[in-house]
Amino acid sequence: QVQVVESGGGSVQAGGSLTLSCTASGLTFDDVAFGWFRQAPGKEREGVSCISWSGGVDYYANSVEGRFTISRDNAKNTLYLQMKSMKPEDTAMYYCAADYVRSMGCSLQTTDFKHWGQGTQVTVSS
């Protein structure tokens, strides 16, 4: 049984930093691509960042490019999202998603991921 668990959410002031973590069990961590998604109240879930199974490819939404960094530590079976220069509009529930992807890339589409965590809340105050 696959289990994806996010942690590290919390409250931060604008301009501050936060790092999210995601662990995944029940799958071969080295072979899966990961994505971070977020959903604000009343809005659709959107892709924030993704990273390929090899770690060699990553993508970012325009809204977070240059401020967020995705990384993975296969030895620890852990995915990270470092968030800096945070803005109130970054406030949302953040979700980690995983799936086996045969290509060398990754996706920011929710439909391309099968396994999801329950989310961790991030709140940025002005």
Query: Which of 49, 21, 55 lies closest to 35 in space, CA to CA?
Result: 49
Per-residue pLDDT tens digits of the chain, which is 126 residues long: 999 999 999 999 999 999 999 999 999 999 999 999 999 999 999 999 999 999 999 999 999 999 999 999 999 999 999 999 999 999 999 999 999 987 788 999 999 999 999 999 999 999
Tracing tokens 């604000």 back to the chain, one arrives at 40
Give the Cα separation of 14 and 11 in Å (integer): 10
Encoded tokens for 46: 């959107």
* 3-state per-residue secondary structure call for 36-66: EEEECCCCCCEEEEEECCCCCCEEECCCCCC
**Within 10 A of 65 (CB to CB), how many other CB atoms are there?**
10
